[in-house]
Each structure stands twice: as structure tokens, then as C-alpha cells.
Amino acid sequence: MTELLVAEEISKIVGWLKKETIVDHVSINLHEGEIMGLLGPNGAGKTTTMKMLLGLTSISSGTARMFGAPVPTPASRVGVGFLPEAIQHPDHLSVYEYVRFHARLSGINDSIAKIEEHLRQVDMWEYRDRLLKECSKGMRQRADVARILLRQARLIFLDEPFSGLDPCGQVMLKELLMSLKKQNISILVNSHAAGILADVCDRVCVMNKGKIVVNEPLEKLLKTSQTRVVASFADSAAATAFAAARPGLSGKQKEPAVFEFILDDRNGLNEMAGAIIAAGGRLIEMTPVMLTLDQLFVKTLSIRNDEMAGGLS
Amino acid sequence: MTKHRYLLLFIFSLLLTAVSRHYYLQQHRLEMKTGNARQNLDQIQKSSSAFFTNKDENESTDETSDGQQTETTATCSENCNLPEHAKGHIQGQEHQHGHEHEPEHDHAGQLVAGSATNDIASTADEKQLAVQAGQPHEQTGTHGHEEFNSKAKLLTCEHADHDHADHHEHHAHGQASDPAVSPGFVLLLRQLGFAELAANLLWIQMDSDSHRGLWHRVEFALELIPALDPTFVDAYLLRSFLLDEYQKRHDEALQILEGAAKQLPNRIELWQQIGIFCLNHTGRHGPKRLLPRALEAFQVMAEFSDAPIQSPRLIAVTLAAMERRTEAVKFLEASSGDQTRPLEQRKIDQTMIERINSGEKF
Amino acid sequence: MFSRIRLIMWDTFLDVARHKMLTVHLVFVCIALGLFNLFGHFSTTPSLEYRMIQDVGLSIISLFGFLIALFIGSTTLRDEIQRKTIYAIFTLPMGRWELYTGKFLGTLLAAVVNMLIMLGILTLLLYIKFGLIWSGFQWVALFMILEFAIMTGMVLLFSLTDSLIVCFSLSIFCVLLGSMAEHVQHLAFEADIPLLSYLTDVVYWVIPNFGYFNIKYKILKDLTISPSFAMWAVGYACCYLFFLLVAGSWALKKKDL
């Protein structure tokens, strides 16, 4: 897969007298058609990293290339779209004028048909004549997506796109991201909405205090060695007896005759299945346990913070 | 090189700005006929300082209130050498009478046309000629002339309309107030771009001061007004008149007029006044007569499309004074033969030809 | 490139034109022109009254024109940055200088249209009162445009500073200093402090001298302006604007958003 974005050891240092490192030697790669989630607590340096890559803020050290062109040259931004957080749209333009203005600025054919196509894609064609100031946040965001799509962007940066959206808006945006992915468009999403990111991202990058803590494919990150086992027995007494015979198992009785427990070691799966059958039970479900992104995020940060604290002491 | 593109462009644009600025300033000074701003400011500073001499003024008014009027007269005389003015203003009832007759109250307009032609036509018979010579001046249609004459009229009218009793009461009780138009206010107005307004307000203040006998302030106001508005012709005219008539600083008076003409070469009244000044008939403007310069000034004046109707006679008189009588007669004959000139004027031209031929000294 | 600049210029103009502040400004100007009409009473003849109203009117237009340039110039780019709309533009494959130039031209266009409306009001006022059509209109308009262009360029440059107060202070300071540059230099020279003299020399050469764009008295006296003089004025203004645009574009390029 082609690498659209390659950032090597980029850093951002601010301040004249008292220097402060906002982003510390961050390296990111993004492939074509890949969606990468950028996670991290407030002040971790996620937005600054994005701004550096987009050429909005200078890079203090390190290099970055987009589409093979060095950042921040205009060539590096040819196929790039950006949806900033809490953008306030120009009040004097309608949805249609807004999209057309950006298309013209990009030197792209701004024929009505083309604009219509992209506004329809985001369900905004009906509202084309509405002034942006009269649109809801979700509508404005969709108009922004349309402006990006019209530019035929192949790499899109989204900064907190889900904040302030109602559940319907969030679902709609999530679906939109999925459809963009299908079009082989790469997306870098910076968000706190870990639950939604987990549904759309291929890879997750967790940042903390300006540094990248984790940068792995999502599947790999969420996978654990635990297995959830659900078994049913003839009656509740049989279930209780089965549990009592294995004190090492952490589990609970879901129903009087149904017992659910977590098996830490996958090597013991066969043995456990045999034991259930031997006890007159029936195996109902046996699934690997996956972490949620929120759990992973909290877990990663707490480990990192402990490490840092340990290092300091 | 490309890395420092902006820096190089910045330096280049800065140099370009400096060079273009230099040439633009040169052109500006040439076009606007203005001197260095330093000189200008010096002038304003010098002139405005006069307003701070209120101490003298207060002292003098206090003294007036004590009944020591003679000393006030002396102060004013020392300051500006204008005893008649001072007397006129201080001597209550006599003053009003004085306004109607004293020539100094005619200020600019009548000073130029009236007094100048009086120089030439000093006898009673010639007065009519002079008045007629002055008439066309009022008929000229330019803004400047109109304004010029009307300002003179205004001043005359104002003198008539003014509540003199009120003014004189002020003087008599020593209540000469501070100037309503302070130099700070004037400078502020100028810096805000209201130079014309500042000059006009100062002119009104100056007129009021003249009524109150504050002649030192009048003198400085007349210096300050052209510094604020270099095209304020009346200020040049009145100042030169005051210097010439009352302080007998004839050369300075002429210099002021010459300077003004350099600045405003399109103002006829300046050329006329320079001509009359240099012709110096009856020696009223000092011991010197600058006849070639007078001729030159009258000729410049005559070239204007709206030149005063008496211009040919003024040129002829100057030629006669230079003892170029044949030339003068020829010139007037051509003028009197001009059918476009009013009949009345042509008759006066004929009378003048006779006077030149009779060998009368001009 | 030029089409982009034109687009930004037009968008800025539309953005500025809908500003209520401009309407309020125009109302103020109308009131001020009407009130300052009273200054005509100081005059003694209709011609002098005409000139005085012209003079005061032009001064009001200059003053309000500067205020408009100040308000528009200080907010147009700053607002874009604060509203983050500029992010969407800066992520396009275009140079920042293009946006800066477009913004400058749009702001200037708005200021010029406003100025022309104000001049139109004054001309109408004079026509109603005196029945005369103003002859030097085009020269006054030209020199005022040059003056406003430099003012707008300066304000736009200062609007890149972090604080609006700093922008306002610097702009007003520069305009005042620009109007009195020679006098300040002279006073420093008089004060006989070498360092101050040196400093004012630098200021004198760097800050535009707005006094030289004031041709009002020449117009008021119906004197003619030679084309060569107008050409030099335009040349100087263009050079200065080029300098301001380079400085502004450079500052914007260096600015971390």
C-alpha cells in the first residue's frame, strides 16, 4: 500500500525564553485507504501534530512528507482536506456558495452538477440555499465534508469531528467515514470518542504528553488472551457444584442453571470443554475477550503514567 | 536563496519605498510650492508663541481698568507700532467714529484697490477715476476675488454691525478674555486635517483681537494663518499692509507679497498689490520705487482672463513713470480702441492719455 | 493565482459589506456632515462657505475613512483566524501571501466604496446647498484612496499581532506619527539628543508621511494637480503598499496558527 503520509521524528517547541516541547519526536505513517485514530488526553499534542502536518504550524525539528512532497509546501496539500474542530463558518455564505467558493479556490471544476453530486452524497442538496449560520452543527459539518470531497481529497484530517454532534449525527458521520474508506480515502481522525473510533479505525495512535505511546493496528491492540465461556447445566445445583469444584474460576451465574466465566489461558480451552460435558453441562458460548478502546486508552495511559512516575522516582 | 525569499523581497521593497518617497517628496514640494516641513513648523511655533504673551495683555488691561489708558497705548505702540489703532480702540466714543473713517479698518479689500488707486489719483477729481478703477475688481468672477472682496466687505460690515458698545465695555473694564482659538486648538485642528477651518477661525479671532486693540496678537495671527493655510491671500495682504502702513517696514511688506505671489501665482490681487507697491506713487510705500518690477507685475496681472479692467491704465502709468511716455500712450490708445471695453472705461483711458501727454509726473 | 486572489478579495468585500458597523458609520458621517455644515456660518461669503463645508467635509471623510479602515482592517484577518475558517483555506495548495493580498484588496475595496459613498453624500450636500458640481472630485478621490490603501495595509499588518488593543494602538500611533513625521523628526533634532534623532530618522523613513497625500487645500482653491505629481504619488503609494504586503505576507507565513 502506498504511504500517503510519512512523518519522521517531528517536534514542536514553543516559547522564547522558556522553551516547551508540545510534540516530541513523533513519527506517523498513513497508508492509502487507512483510517487512523489519534487518541490522547487533552493537551497531548494531537491537534498540534495535525497542524504541523497540514503546514498550519511550523515544524521545529524532523521532517514530514505528504504525497511525496515535503511539508509545508503547497504541493504537499494538493490532495488534502481538513475539517477543524469548532470551525465557525462564514455567515454570509449559503451552503452552496461555501462549497463553490472552496472549489474555485482549489481550481476545481465548480459545475453545478459536481457540487450537486457531492452535496447529495452528504444529504445536503436540499439545504443548499440555506445560509450556513442557519444550519445545525451537523449540517455544517456535512457541508464541510462536501467541500473536501469536491476537492477530491485523498487524505482527510478530522479534528474532533464527533464533538457536539447528537447520536444521529454521530452515526451519520461514522457511516460517511466508512463510505470514504471504501473509496480508498485515507483519514486521520483526532477524537475523544473512542467508541466510535473503534468502529471505523484500522490503526490507533495514542499520544500522551507530546509523545506517541502506542501506534498499532486496532485489532492487535484490542485482542486479549482471555476467553469468555458460557455453559448450561441440568439445574442450578449442578452449576453451583461445577463452580465450587473450580475456585480459580472468576464467574457468575447468569441464570439459575447457566454459568459464565472468563478463562485466562487459551491453552486450557479443550480441557475446560471436557470438564463441562463431564459434569452434564452443555457449552453455549466460547468467545475471545476484546478490550474496548476506552479501556485500552485508560489502561495504556495508566501504565505509561506509572512508568513515568517510576522513572522519575 | 529561496529560503530567504521573503527577506530579500522585504529589503528590496524597503529600498524601493525609500527611493520613491524621496522623488515623491521632491515633486510634492515643487508642485505644492511648500518649503521644508521644518521651516513650516518653525513658522508655526514662532507665530503661535505670540498667544502665550497674555501676561502683557492682562497687565495692560488691568492697567486700563485702573484708568491708566495711556500706558496701554504705549504697550501696544511698543508691540506693534500701531498707535492709531490703539488710540481708536481705547478712546471710547471716538473709536466708533474712527471705524467709519479710518482707512486701517477697511482691511484687506479696500486696502488693495482703494488705497492703491488713491496713490495714483490723489486729487479730488481723480478720486472718481480711482473708484472706477476699483470697480472692475469687484466684478471679477473668480472665487478668490469674490471672497477677497467680500471678506473686505464683511470686515467693513462687521465693523458697522459689531456691538461696539459691548466691545468697548470690555476694554473699559479690562475684561479682555483669553483667546477663544488657542494655539493648541489650532494645531490640533491642523493635525486632524482641519487646517482651513483653523485658519478661518484664527482670522475671525484676529478680527476680534483687532477690535480689542490686541495688536501683537493680530500681527502674530497674520503670520500664523499663512503657515496653516498657505493659500489664505487675505492674511498676506493685510499683513503686508500693516507692516507697510504702520510700521514702515516697507521692504518686509514687499517681501511678504512676493513670497505669496510665488506661492500663489494665480491670484491677481497679489500681482496688483505688488505693482502698486513697486510703483510707489507719492512715495507712500517708502523711499524706493521699483518701476521695472511694477511693470512686470502689472503685465502679469493683465494677462489673466479676468484681469481688472484698469490694468491697461496701471501699465501705462508705470510706463509714464519710467518716462516711456510714447509707449504708454500707444498702449493706452490700443486699449481705448478696444471695442470690447466699456465706453466709460475707454473715456477714462482717453483722459489718462491726455494726462500722460501733458507731462504729468506719476 | 490571480483568480484565487480575486475570489478572496470579493469574498472579503462581501463579508465586510454586510457588516452593520459600516451602515452605522455612514449614518454617523451623514450626521457629522450635516452638523459640520454649521461651520459654514463662520464664513462670510457663499464661496467661502462652500469651501469651508468642502474642507470640513473632506476632513470628516478622512477621519471616518481612517476609522473604517481601522475597524475593518483589524478584524477581517483576525476574525478568520479566530473562527478557524482560515484553516480550511490554508490547507489548500496555495501560498499564504495570496490570501493576505486578497484580504487586503477586499478590505481596501470596502473602504474605497465607503469613501466614495461619503464623497457622494458630500457632493450631493454641496449640490443641494449651492447648486454646484464639485470639480476636483477625481483628484480628492485618488489621493484619499492612496491614503486609505496605505492605512489599510498598515492596519492589516498590525492585525497579525496577538492582541486587538496592540493592533489599534500601533495603527493609531503610526497614522498620527505619519501625519507628523517631519515635525517629530524636527523636534528630535531640536532636542539635540543623538539617539532620539537617530530613531526619529528611521521612523521618518519607514513610516509613510500621510501629510503628503493631503492635497485638500490645493483642491479647495481650485488649483490644478499635474498628472506627473499624481503619478509620483501613485508610484510612492504602490511602492509602500508593496512593502506592506511583503511584510504582511512574511509575518503571516511565520505565524503559527
Nearest to B182 by CA among B334, B50, B51, B325: B51
* Dihedrals phi, psi of A224, to nearest 5 degrees: -130, 175
Q: Which of C186, C212, C215 lies at the smallest CB-CB distance from B24? A: C212
How many angstroms separate the CA of residue C88 from the nearest CA in chain A? 6
- Touch between chain A and chain C (3+ CB pairs, < 8 Å)? yes
Residue with the three cell numbers 455567515: A91
- Chain C residues within an 8 Å CB radius of B146: 45, 47
Confidence (pLDDT) at B145: 36
How many angstroms separate the CA of residue C94 from the nearest CA in chain B? 16
Name the maximum alpha-carbon separation found in chain C.
Answer: 64
Confidence (pLDDT) at C213: 76
Confidence (pLDDT) at C242: 93
Res. C128: pLDDT tops 50: yes
- Chain C residues within an 8 Å CB radius of A92: 14-15, 18
Nearest CA in chain C to B8: C246
How many angstroms separate the CA of residue B24 from the nearest CA in chain C? 5
| Interface with C, mutate which of A11, A105, A147, A156 (most C CBs under 10 A) | A105
How many angstroms separate the CA of residue A89 from the nearest CA in chain C? 6
Res. C46: pLDDT tops 80: no
What is the DSSP code string of C164-209?
A: HHHHHHHHHHHHHHHHSHHHHHHHHHHHT-HHHHHHHHHHHHHS--
Residue with the three cell numbers 518690477: B293
Distance separating the N- and C-terminal Cα atoms of chain B: 80
Evaluate whether B190 touches B225 at the Cβ level (below 8 Å).
Answer: no
Instruction: For residue A256, give the DSSP letter.
Output: T
Sign of CA dihedral B305, B306, B308, B310: positive
Res. B72: pLDDT tops 70: no
More confident residue, B48 or A220: A220
Nearest CA in chain C to B151: C44
- Touch between chain A and chain B (3+ CB pairs, < 8 Å)? no
* Interface contact flag, B20 C183, Cβ < 8 Å: no
Confidence of residue B155 (pLDDT cuts 50, 70, 90): very low
- Touch between chain B and chain C (3+ CB pairs, < 8 Å)? yes
Instruction: Measure the CA angle with vertex B42, ends B36 and B47; round to 5°.
Output: 135
Residue with the three cell numbers 507719492: B282
Nearest to C247 by CA among C204, C208, C198, C210: C208
Element (H, E) at A158: strand A155-159
Question: What is the CB-side half-sphere exposure of residue B28 using CA atoms within 13 A?
Answer: 21
Give strand pairing partners of A70. A65
Query: For residue B135, how far is the Cα from the chain centroid?
Result: 19
Confidence (pLDDT) at B85: 39
Confidence (pLDDT) at A1: 65
Interface residues from chain A to C (CB-CB < 8 Å): 14, 51, 54-58, 74-75, 77-78, 80-82, 84-93, 101-102, 104-107, 144, 147, 151, 157
Evaluate whether B203 touches B180 at the Cβ level (below 8 Å).
Answer: no
Confidence of residue C155 (pLDDT cuts 50, 70, 90): very high
Q: Which of C18, C85, C92 lies at the smallest CB-CB distance from A89? A: C85
* Interface contact flag, A54 C85, Cβ < 8 Å: no
**Other CB atoms within 10 Å distance of the CB of residue B180:** 10
**Other CB atoms within 10 Å distance of the CB of residue C68:** 28
Res. B281: pLDDT tops 50: yes
Confidence (pLDDT) at C109: 92
pLDDT (tens digit, 9 = 90+) per residue, C170-191? 998 888 888 776 666 666 666 6
Contacts of B161 by beta carbon, 8 Å cutoff, 6+ apart: none
* Interface contact flag, A81 C14, Cβ < 8 Å: no
Confidence of residue C152 (pLDDT cuts 50, 70, 90): very high
Query: For residue C52, how far is the Cα from the chain centroid?
Result: 23
pLDDT (tens digit, 9 = 90+) per residue, A230-282? 888 888 888 888 878 877 777 777 777 888 888 877 777 888 888 888 888 88
* Interface contact flag, C15 A90, Cβ < 8 Å: yes
Q: Cis peptide before B226, with omega less than 30 degrees from 0?
A: no
Element (H, E) at B355: helix B343-357
* Interface contact flag, C88 A80, Cβ < 8 Å: no
More confident residue, A38 or C48: A38
What's the one-letter identity of residue C151? M
pLDDT in tens, chain A (313 residues): 678 889 888 999 988 888 888 888 999 888 888 899 888 888 888 889 999 998 888 898 899 999 888 888 888 888 888 888 877 888 888 898 888 888 888 877 667 788 888 888 888 888 888 988 888 888 888 888 888 888 888 889 988 888 777 788 788 888 888 888 888 889 999 887 777 788 888 888 888 888 888 888 877 777 777 788 888 888 888 888 887 887 777 777 777 788 888 887 777 788 888 888 888 888 888 888 777 777 777 777 776 666 655 544 4
Confidence (pLDDT) at C187: 66
Number of H helices, E strands in chain A: 10, 14
* Interface contact flag, C246 B31, Cβ < 8 Å: no
CA distance B315 to B295: 6
Evaluate whether A57 touches C257 at the Cβ level (below 8 Å).
Answer: yes
pLDDT (tens digit, 9 = 90+) per residue, B74-98? 333 333 333 343 333 333 333 333 3
- Chain C residues within an 8 Å CB radius of A157: 91
Pairing of strands A80-83, A155-159: parallel
Instruction: For residue C222, give the DSSP letter.
Output: T
Instruction: Measure the CA angle with vertex C42, ends C36 and C43; round to 5°.
Output: 110
Chains that touch B (3 or more CB pairs under 8 A): C
What's the one-letter identity of residue B178? D
Buried b (16+ CB within 10 A) or exposed e, A131-151: bbeebeebbbbbbbbbbbbbb
Confidence (pLDDT) at A117: 85
Instruction: Report percent pLDDT > 90 for chain C.
Output: 16
pLDDT (tens digit, 9 = 90+) per residue, B177-202? 444 566 667 777 776 667 777 888 88
Min mean pLDDT across B192-201, B277-286, C93-102 is at: B192-201
More confident residue, C139 or C42: C139
Evaluate whether A49 touches A106 at the Cβ level (below 8 Å).
Answer: no
3-state secondary structure B299-334: HHHHHCCCCCCCHHHHHHHHHHHCCCHHHHHHHHHH
* Dihedrals phi, psi of A64, to nearest 5 degrees: -140, 145
Nearest CA in chain A to C7: A105
Res. C110: pLDDT tops 80: yes
Pairing of strands A69-70, A61-66: antiparallel
Nearest CA in chain C to A83: C88
Contacts of C51 by beta carbon, 8 Å cutoff, 6+ apart: B143, B147, B196, C43, C220, C221
Q: Which of A57, A74, A101 lies at the smallest CB-CB distance from C7? A: A101
Confidence of residue C104 (pLDDT cuts 50, 70, 90): very high
Evaluate whether B268 touches B308 at the Cβ level (below 8 Å).
Answer: yes
CA distance B134 to B313: 12
Output the nine-digit C-alpha cell for C17. Answer: 459589506
The conformational region for residue A68 under phi > 0 = left, psi -120 to 50 = alpha, else beta, is left
The residue count of chain B comes to 362
CA distance B207 to B187: 19
Nearest CA in chain B to C48: B147
Instruction: Measure the CA angle with vertex A123, ends A121 and A127; round to 5°.
Output: 130
Average model confidence (pLDDT) for chain B?
65
Contacts of C182 by beta carbon, 8 Å cutoff, 6+ apart: B36, B37, B38, B41, C204, C209, C211
Which spans in B52-91 are helix H?
A: 54-65, 69-80, 83-90
* Interface contact flag, B10 C180, Cβ < 8 Å: no
Min mean pLDDT across B224-238, B326-340, C42-56 is at: C42-56
Min mean pLDDT across A128-142, B9-23, C211-225, C226-240 is at: C211-225
Q: Which of C84, C90, C92 lies at the smallest CB-CB distance from A87? A: C84
- Chain C residues within an 8 Å CB radius of B192: 59, 63
More confident residue, C214 or A209: A209
* Interface contact flag, B147 C211, Cβ < 8 Å: no
More confident residue, C42 or B190: B190
What's the one-letter identity of residue B218? V
CA distance A29 to A40: 17
CA distance C60 to B36: 27
- Chain A residues within an 8 Å CB radius of C84: 84-88
* Interface contact flag, C243 B17, Cβ < 8 Å: yes
Instruction: Report percent pLDDT > 90 for chain B.
Output: 2
Nearest CA in chain B to C189: B38
Evaluate whether A47 touches A85 at the Cβ level (below 8 Å).
Answer: yes
| Interface with A, mutate which of C22, C86, C91 (most A CBs under 10 A) | C91
The residue-averaged pLDDT of B119-132 equals 38
Rounded to 10 degrees, what is the CA torsion of A132, C109, B11, C189?
-120
